[in-house]
Amino acid sequence: MFSRKGYEVIGIDIAPPLIDFARKQFAEEGLSGAFITGDMRELDYEGVILSGTFGFFSNEENLALLCSIRPIVQSMR
């Protein structure tokens, strides 16, 4: 949906098969996006992240991730 609206899309997942699936789906639909195999907890964020990953991490890891994203989101207001 975001790619169709012209936003830059970067997908990150720790599982290579899921990255391969996303690349295939984007290619089939003629969409633009970049896909990285990696752990989202180890990234420096320069944008906004939308994720369904919460619940897989511990409370401490969830809090650390949200704290790393919060300053970026606040600067966009």
The domain spans of the chain are 1-38, 42-77
73 and 48 in contact (C-beta within 8 Å)?
yes
pLDDT digits (tens, 9 = 90+) for 13-61: 889 999 999 999 999 999 999 998 988 777 666 655 666 666 677 888 8
Residues 6+ apart with CB under 8 A from 76: 48
Residue bearing the bigger pLDDT, 26 or 77:
26
Q: Alpha-carbon distance 19 to 9, whole Å?
A: 13
pLDDT digits (tens, 9 = 90+) for 14-27: 899 999 999 999 99
Number of Cβ within a 10 Å radius of residue 65 = 19
DSSP bridge pairs for 11 = 35
Q: Can you say how many angstroms the Cα of residue 75 is from the centroid of all Cα atoms in its chain? A: 19
